[in-house]
Amino acid sequence: MVAVSPEHSGPAPHWDRAPRAWRLTVLLALALVAISAASLAVGAAGTMPWTVLADMAAGREIALADRVVLFEIRLPRLAMGALVGAALAVSGAVMQGLFRNPLADPALVGISAGAGLGAISAIVLGGLLPAAIAGALGYYLVPLAAFAGAWAMTLLLYGIATRRGRTSIATMLLGGIALGALAGALSGILVYMADDAQLRDLTFWQLGSLAGATWTKLAAAAPLMILALVAAPMLGRGLNGLALGEAAAAHVGIPVQRLKTVAVLTVAGATGAAVAVSGGIGFVGIVVPHLLRLATGPDHRPLLVNAALLGAALLIGADMIARSLIAPAELPIGIVTAILGGPVFLWILLRRRGLLEI
């Protein structure tokens, strides 16, 4: 998973003078391109992208089913997987930098619980909405509610933790745990009210899936994720400074309060949009930044770029597994990320404690 660059001896070409982390960026970008191409070629239907493209170039007629599979199913799903994976990994990395804690991620401070509460409310109570509203929203009701839940939770947290223009990170963490528990309890009440079919829908949503990827949904969710992915690398220097502590960071001229505000809003937007369109996909936000820090150290500037690339590649890969393991049916992707992420996380942990030699 993690590339380790060979240490050359002899005359050093220009390539070797680039820091390892940025060399890894190039490798990850190449891996992302390769896995994207593979993802377009893998699926239950035997559609092959190159034949379709060749046929299009030659002006030949393409079977409708092939066109739908490639352009309406696999391609939006690939884009969605890349964006969601990148958004989750970058959100995790920013959170960990902000809280100076390698275990922080949007799930820990309750943002994911807020999104979950929104989604569950829509699934269980959606029937109570006036038909006109429910009809207009169609199946965007659940994503919208999830997004609203993530934002409401973030703003509430931010409000609780901010006094006289200063945001207390510790208060935010503890407040997030409390609010997350509360959101979980409210979700529990709704689960109790849910009927059999709603419970099924809920389970599918909680396990996460990219199956609902459509161009329309992507267009609605992509801007926020892209915004976060563009904004995040700009936070790199600030987060590096924050690692020294808030006072020290302020001394070296980092606008600490503005950094916190931007970081929180970025994470809320990216996580809210990602959870809204794909449900509960766990582990990406913790495992990806962690692996990268192990490989190339704690510098946030390359880390935030690499996290986006590795997160995207990882989720596209996981989605390929989800789509092909029990084809023509498919697994929820959250199961795949947890099965891959759990053991990897344990391995990292045990290796660091010196309990494993591999």
Partner 1 sequence: MIRPLVALTVAVLAALPAGAAERVVSLGGAVTEIVAALGEADRLVGRDTTSSWPEAVTALPDLGYVRGLSAEGVLSVAPDLILAEEGAGPPEAVDLLKSATIPFVEVPDGYDREAVVAKIETVADALGVPEKGALLAADVGRALDAAVAQAAEGPARRVLFVLSVQGGRLLAGGRDTAADGIIRLAGGVNAVTGFEGYKPLTDEAVTRAAPDVILMMSRAGAEDLEAEVLALPAVRTTPAAARGALVSMDGLYLLGFGPRTAQAVRDLAAALDRAGS
Contact residues for partner 1 (CB under 8 A)? 43-46, 64-65, 68-69, 72-74, 138-139, 192, 195-197, 200-201, 204, 209, 211-214, 217, 323, 326-330, 332
CB nearer partner 1, residue 111 or residue 277: 277
CB nearer partner 1, residue 61 or residue 195: 195
Q: What are the structure tokens assigned to 91, written together?
A: 């959100």
Q: What are the structure tokens assigned to 180, written together?
A: 């997350």
Find out whether 294 and 348 touch, Cβ atoms under 8 Å: yes
Find out whether 88 and 271 touch, Cβ atoms under 8 Å: yes
Shortest Å, Cβ 53 to partner 1: 18
CB nearer partner 1, residue 144 or residue 262: 144
CB nearer partner 1, residue 64 or residue 128: 64
Shortest Å, Cβ 135 to partner 1: 12
CB nearer partner 1, residue 217 or residue 300: 217
Shortest Å, Cβ 187 to partner 1: 16
- Give the bridge partners for 166, in sequence order: 163
- DSSP for 31-96, written as a single string: HHHHHHHHHHH-SSS---HHHHHHHHHTT----HHHHIIIIIIIHHHHHHHHHHHHHHHHHHHHHH
Q: What are the structure tokens assigned to 226, written together?
A: 């892209």
Shortest Å, Cβ 185 to partner 1: 17
Find out whether 276 and 221 touch, Cβ atoms under 8 Å: yes
Shortest Å, Cβ 213 to partner 1: 8
CB nearer partner 1, residue 55 or residue 66: 66
Q: Beta-carbon neighbour count of residue 8 at 10 Å?
A: 10
How far CA 135 is from CA of 126, 145, 195, 348, in Å, comes to 10, 15, 21, 48
Q: Beta-carbon neighbour count of residue 211 at 10 Å?
A: 17
Shortest Å, Cβ 46 to partner 1: 7
Counting beta carbons within 10 angstroms of the beta carbon of residue 253, is it exposed (0 to 12), middle (13 to 18) or buried (19 or more)?
exposed
Shortest Å, Cβ 15 to partner 1: 41
Phi, psi at 100, each rounded to 5°: 50, 45
CB nearer partner 1, residue 165 or residue 192: 192
Shortest Å, Cβ 216 to partner 1: 10
Find out whether 35 and 317 touch, Cβ atoms under 8 Å: yes
- DSSP class of residue 164 equals T
Find out whether 276 and 330 touch, Cβ atoms under 8 Å: no
CB nearer partner 1, residue 2 or residue 326: 326
